[in-house]
Every structure is written in structure tokens, then in C-alpha cells.
Chains A and B, each alone.
Chain A
Amino acid sequence: MSTLDRSQAPAPARVHPFTFPEVQRSRLANGLELFTARHGTVPLATARIVLDAGVTREPAELGGVAHLVAHTIDAGTTHKDAERLSWELELLGAQLEVSTGFDATAISVTAATDRMPQALALLCEMVTEARFPEAEVKRVRTEQLGEIEQRRSDPRSLASDQAIRFMYGSESVYGRSALGSVETVQRLTVGDVRSFYHDRYAPGKAALILVGALDGAAIDTAHECLSRWSSQPAPVSAPNYGPSVTSARVHIIDRTGSVQSEIRLGHAGPSRADPDYFALQVVNSILGGAFTSRLNLNLREKQGFTYGVRSQFAFRRGPGPFIISTAVASEVTARAIEETLREVDLLSADGPTEEELQNTIDYLTGIMPLELQTTDQLAGKLSELFVYGLSDDYFATYRSRIAAVTREDALRAGRQHIKRVLFTYVVVGDPGGIEEPLKSLGIGPVEVHSANE
């Protein structure tokens, strides 16, 4: 006992193998895809209906309609009004969750296994028989307008919203907020809501994902109520991703009195289907994805400029954004951007070291079982299979594809997909002390905008 040597990190023990949960895949006669996976030891299950009803399916003039439809899906059905629906769901202890992304909308319930058949029947009823009463639609539309207002006064949301606006421009669907704008949301009518629902909520373009401690009753309920669903999806046109930005620009959003600058920088990135997807997971983790990323070790642990900095590729069907995000004390705004660019340049010049590459592969492959503990986490993963049309063995082979990334892959993919000459910079802060230092950086023309633009 007394011979314990603390000076060396202990070696790992024998590996306990991890296998991705087994997924059953089938299709109902009406086209609905069904994914089921038994998972976990807690008596709980999640049912998620994924619909091809994301923001990219909205006509530009109806920005925010996808969100409004999803958030009024529980506003009433043929048989029940809003209050009755929420009462029945909540009396079961069921948690309803709604999310509207660019590529899809998901509506989920999570409930204890023995209450799942009833919760699932209510979920099906809402999704297949929604009625959108006018008073409820108007009320939720007001809430949505309130949320848009809230995002303007919150520097974090304001910075993110303005960053994509300037990166993509007003023509692009990716330049919009999923909430829409005040102008478009104010004009949304009950007719717009009903027709978006009618066109986009259809079994031929939807999936049901059922995971957790499942029993036959839940699966039978799903078959029974979703088999009756018969609406047809309307044809869609290709989304407009807008023109590419061709030069770097700096946009200061005036928030006089701010004690911090919220900084976003980046540009349009590759799509989810890009073959560099795996290499870019590695590159991003090294640059700004992990806690021990180059950016965080420099800006936080070395300089103390920030509480944290992160980079991210938002992989979507189209060219989703690559964004670096941080918040720094106002007086170090320009220096923080300078250090960020130094790290971007270094990685682009030399790529990762062999040690960094191996550490990152270990991290990305090792973390997978940790992130698959809950029914909700697994349902989220399985949604990707449907939304992005991934192969059945995608998750089973994910770790070996990450492990196969080489230094050369990382170097090439990094250079190809992170280009600082195209960066759009957005800084939400007090222009007083930051405008001149930002101009001195010489990274692009600097403009100051009002927050209400």
C-alpha cells in the first residue's frame, strides 16, 4: 500500500465493450418509417415523430410558420381542445417536447412505460388531427413575437441571430431565425398555419422513433393510430441558400453599456453529406469543440479573456454555418479576435499534431456511450438516420470512421472548410472602446449597426 506511485497516470483497465442499441426499422403502408429500439433499465419510453416540416420548407414570406405550426400542434384536435389535451397528457406525467430545426420538426413525448400507450395515442391524435383554433394560434403567435423581442435584448441570442443574417444575407433561408421576423410573424394567418400543416405533416415524409423500455402495447398503439394517417405531402422546391459571401466584414451591433462583447465569427460550411464530415469532427474538436481545444486553452486558460470559447459546424442538408462563439471583457475584444485568428491560421498551416489527432480520436470515439444513456438522447440520434438518410450501420461504424481520420485528412479538410478570408465577424457590445481596435486589426471593413436593424 505504501508503495503507491502517484507520479504517473494509471493505465486503463480492460475495455468493457460497447455496442450501439439494436434498431428495428420498418415502414407502414402509408409510408411512415418506424424505428424502434429497446434501451435502458428505467421504466421510461420516448416517442418522437419527425416531420419534413423544418424552416427550409417555409416560403420566405411565411418565415416562422414552421415554428408556429409545431407550437400549436397541441392547440386542439377534432375531439379535444387545447386545455383538455394538455390536461390529459400531463395527468399521465408525459412530457411533450417540440423542436423546429432547419431540416425537420420533431414532436416527442416521454412517459413512464405503463402510461406510454395513452401518451402515444395523444401524440398521434395531435399530429394527425390538429385543428389550429384561431384564438390559440393568435395567442401563440403573440408569444412567438415576444420571443423574437427577447432575443433582441439578450446579447447572446442577438449575436447568433445577427451572425447568420450577415453570413448568409436576407435571400438565404439560413440567414433567417427559426422564429421568423416580426414582419413575417405578424402577418401569419390561421390559413397559413393550416396549409403548412396540410402540406408538410404527412406520413410519407415522416418517421416515428420509439425507444426505451418498450412493451408490446406501445408498439401496437403506434401501429394502430398512425396507420390511419393518410395525408399526402405537397411537392417541395429546392431551398434558396443564397449567394456565397466573398469577402470578410466586421459588424458591430451597438449595445451601449455592455461590459462584455459577444463575438461570433465564421462562414457557410459544408453539408451533412460532405465526405469530410468525419475529418471535420476531429478538426473542430481540436480547434474549439473540446474543453482542451486550442482556442479554449489559449483564450481562457492562458489569457483569461473569457469564460469559454467554442467552435461548431452546424451540419445540415445544405451549407450550414461554421461558427466560433465567445464572450470577452470589452477591453480585450480585438485581442481575442487576434488570438482566435492566430489559432485558425496555425491549424490551417500545420494541421494537428500526431498526439492531438490521437487524443481527439480517443475522445470522440470514447464519448459515444456517455451520450446515449437516455431515451431522449437515443431518439435524437435515430432521428439523424431518417433526416439525413444515413445507412442502417451508420452508428455501428461511426467510431471506426472517426478512428480512420489521418493527419493529412484533417489538414486538408481544415484548409478546405475553414477560410478566414471569408469570415463574417459580429460583435455585440459597446462600440465606444472596440471600434477603433477592430479597425486596426485590418481584417475587413468595420460597420456599426443598431440592434433593431
Chain B
Amino acid sequence: MSLELDIQFERFTLDNGLRVIFSRDPTSPVVAVNLWYNVGSKNERPGRTGFAHLFEHMMFQGSANVPETAHFAYIEKAGGSLNGSTWLDRTNYYETVPSHYLELALWLESDRLGYLLPAMTQEKLDNQRDVVKNERRWRVDNQPYGDWDERVQALLYPPEHPYHHSVIGSMEDLDAASLQDVEQFFRTYYAPNNAVLTLCGDFDPVSARELIARYFGTLPRGPEIPPLPGRIEVPSKLGEARREVIEQDITLPRIYASYRIAPYGSDAFYPAIVAAHVLGDGKSALLYRELVRSGLAQDVFAFPFPIVLGAAVMVTWTTANPGTTAERLEKALRDATAKLEQVDAQDVERAIHLIEASRLMDLQQVEERADALSMYETLFGDPGRINTELNRIRQVTAGDVRGFADEYLGSDNRVVLVYVPKVGE
């Protein structure tokens, strides 16, 4: 096999607990700066759903030495790109800049990690609350099928599980968020000992180490991170089928079938990755052959959520062609998925080759490499997984995929959403 990944990196930890990863690649004169904080919607307490994400927005509102909106302005003037994102397990912040602006990026990131609170005001919170509520309308409430992940999470995890609620949260909880919440959340979770900083691209490691010591090394370690709210242990399977029919202002039915699977990082997760590609990647994929080539559907998707607490999710979905009823499509999706129990070695080889290529495509960009290194360190304490994950995927056999299908994709572990057009219109 010629596709051995060998991404070089080094890792060290500052006295305040900040973990730092360096990965040099001088191909292009750019450097990615990427920070993962080990906080996400999993940490939200009842009544404050959506807060981790709202907080992420506040991180762009300036800090003690950085005026409001200046974070974006500085990076754009530098010729860089930047953003942040919040998910179930984490919140990340990143910028890619021309190499000579590395210090600027470190200054900005360290100022908000060290000195966010002096810049927080009620006016900024109210403004970003409105922005996030509009984000919710745009992604979820005004978007066909836009609430599917919220529904899947609620059905697949018990109410006390940290993944029971969505990242975007409810309008009501967003309305309830206060400046005190901002302060408390910051003091609890935004500390060097709860973060990973990765640099990837064209930079000098000796001077970068000095800069990091100067900008980040001077920040104090935070208190111990409190345990997650709720309860992460769940039975490995749902134990029953759950189903919801949702009427929306749509013209074509769509079916989502989701399953509770082993958490990301566990040995049992790797067959799920391969199974998803066997099912949904490309025109020779099982679901494509059975549902799209047959003329019933116009698209198929299958992917596992890479999440680590207790159990992860495998989701599949398909959208009807005009003329296909929801009932027919639901049955066809179920029957097609069941054929996963008959996959052969060639189906698995095809899936693995597609995974290899898409992995290479992702890793061309320094920002993707940096994000992967931060992720592997945050979730598993092992950035080397950026090179070794592919080998674990390659070891998956057709027997493993059949075993996975048999174990997890049955009717005792399935959540189905059936989206149908509203009647009477």
C-alpha cells in the first residue's frame, strides 16, 4: 500500500497545562493556528441549551486589548481566514494567516483566552443572542428538514444524557442566557489546561515556541474542570424502534434512519466508518444502487457522528423522487440497509479506497491538518492518530462490517424520521 501517511509533529505542554502541537510544512507560506477547547453542548446545564455556541460568538466580540469586531478585522487585513465552531464535544477557534502574521494570531487567541471578561457587555450579548437566534431560524426553523438532528438526538439519547439536546439550543434557553452565565462559563471552561493549541504550516518552531511561552505561558492555570452534567452511560443499543412522522412545507418526502453505535475511538467504531462508505459513498454504494439506481430516490447519505460519550450515532437518509411515497421509501431504505449483512470483500475495498482519497484531499490544507491534530489530542490524547487512523480503517474486513450491521442496524436500535408534505396544500 503506497498511501502511508507520515505527518510529522511534536507535542509539548506548558506549565499552565496548555498542550501544544507543532506540525511543519513549508510548502506554502501560510500557517494555521487552531485551538480546541474541551467544552461543547455536552457541558450545558438544563435551561441553558445552546449556550456553548452562544459563548463561542462572544469570543469574537473583543477582549481586554482587542476592540469589538477587531479580531475579524485584524485577520482579514492580514490576508487570513478565520472562524470558530461548536459541536457536542468541543469548541474550536481557528485562523489561517500568511506566515509573517503568526504572532498576530497568537496575540488575538491568547488575549481572549486570558482577558475576555473585561470586554463583555450586555449590549454585545443581546446583539449576538439575536445573531444566534437568526442562525437557528436559518439552519433549523426556516429550513426544510432542518430539525432532523435535533429530533434524532432527542430520540436516541435519554433526557439525562449530554447529547440529548442540540448544539443550537432552544430559543427559550437562548433568551435566558445572561452576562453572569458568560462569566461563569468562561471561568469554568476557558483555561489553558482545558485547551489544545496546534500550529501547522510554514513557521519556525524555535521562535514559535518563544512566542507561545510569551503569549500563553503567562496565563494562569484554571480550576479543575467539573464533571459533565447528566449521565453518559447508556445501553449500547436502544432496545426498541422509535419513529416520528413530521409534516412540513416540503414537496418531497425524506426518510432518516439513525442508530445508536459504539463511541468514536473505540474499536467497534471503525467498522461503522467503513459501513457508512459502503452504504452511501459513490454511485456503487449499496444505498445508491438500491434506492437511486432503481429510480425511487434522488439521493442517499450515510455517516457516523465522531462523538465519544457513551454512544455515537450512525445516520442514513434518502430523499424521494417525485412519485415515490414515504411509505415505499421507508421500506426500501430498511430493506437496502439490511443488505449490508451480505457485503463482500470488494465492497469493503472500494469503501476503503474512497476513504483514503478523501482523507488525502482533506489533509492538503494546513487548517484541516491542524484541526485533526487538535481533535486527536483533545479526544484521545494522541495526535499520532492523524497517521494511524487510516491503518485501523484498513484492517476492517467484510466480516467486521457484516457483524456491525447485524449488531447495530436492526429494528431494536432504530430511530426513524419520516418527513412528509403538509396535507391540504
Contacts and interface: CB of A to CB of B under 8 A. Distances in A.
A170 interface: no
Interface in B354-388: 354-358, 360-361, 363-366
A344 interface: no
A236 interface: no
Contacts of B251: 149-150, 152-153
Interface residues of A, number: 87
B357 A112 contact: yes
A89 B283 CA distance: 10
B182 interface: no
Given A18-B29, A149-B322, A376 B98 contact: no
Given A112-B2, A305-B134, 7 more contacts: A6-B107, A10-B104, A307-B131, A369-B98, A370-B98, A373-B30, A373-B364
Contacts of A153: 144, 249-252
Contact of A359 (B65, B76, B131, B134): B76
Interface string A1-33: 110101111111111111000000000000000
Nearest to B366: A373
Contact of A304 (B28, B130, B346): B130
A37 to B, nearest CB: 14
A142 interface: yes
Given A153-B144, A291-B76, A16 B99 contact: yes
Contact of A292 (B69, B102, B323, B361): B69
B336 to A, nearest CB: 16
Interface in A184-218: none
Contacts of A147: 298
Given A44-B360, A95-B357, A12 B104 contact: yes
Contacts of B132: 307
A112 B3 contact: yes
Interface string B283-316: 1100001001101001000000000000000000
Interface string A141-165: 0110111011011111000000000
A362 B322 CA distance: 49
Contact of A18 (B28, B68, B104): B28
B135 A307 contact: yes
Contact of B77 (A13, A83, A306, A363): A363
A366 B78 contact: yes
A255 B77 CA distance: 40
B87 interface: no
B187 interface: no
B324 to A, nearest CB: 9
Given A6-B111, A143-B321, A260-B134, A91 B104 contact: no
19 contacts: A1-B214, A1-B218, A6-B64, A6-B115, A13-B100, A44-B360, A83-B289, A95-B354, A143-B292, A143-B321, A259-B142, A292-B72, A301-B69, A327-B134, A329-B137, A362-B79, A363-B78, A370-B81, A374-B365
A361 to B, nearest CB: 10
Contact of B357 (A14, A94, A260, A369): A94
Contacts of B138: 260, 307, 327
Interface string B70-103: 0011101111110000000000000010111111
Given A90-B284, A259-B137, A304-B130, A146 B353 contact: no
B56 interface: no
Contacts, number: 238
B349 interface: yes
A4 B103 CA distance: 13
Contacts of B79: 362-368, 370
Interface string B203-232: 000000000011101100000000000000
A268 B23 CA distance: 46
B86 to A, nearest CB: 14
A257 interface: yes
A376 B361 contact: yes
A262 B183 CA distance: 35
A311 interface: no
B282 A257 contact: no
Interface of A: 1-2, 4, 6-18, 40-44, 74, 82-83, 86-87, 89-95, 110-112, 114-115, 139, 142-143, 145-147, 149-150, 152-156, 255, 257-260, 262, 290-292, 297, 300-307, 327-329, 359, 362-370, 372-376
Interface of B: 2-3, 25, 27-30, 64-65, 68-69, 72-74, 76-81, 96, 98-104, 107, 110-111, 115, 126-135, 137-138, 141-144, 202, 213-215, 217-218, 249-252, 281-284, 289, 292-293, 295, 298, 319-323, 346, 349-350, 353-358, 360-361, 363-366
A375 B28 CA distance: 13
B361 A110 contact: yes
A327 B137 contact: yes
A261 to B, nearest CB: 9
Nearest to A21: B28
B77 A259 contact: no
A143 B298 contact: yes
Contacts of B322: 142, 145-146, 149
A271 B314 CA distance: 46
A442 B354 CA distance: 55
A114 B2 CA distance: 8
B78 A362 contact: yes
B134 to A, nearest CB: 5
A432 to B, nearest CB: 15
Nearest to A18: B29
Contacts of B135: 307
Contacts of B217: 1
A214 to B, nearest CB: 15
Nearest to B64: A6
Contacts of A291: 72, 76
Nearest to A302: B127
A74 B283 contact: yes
Nearest to A86: B283
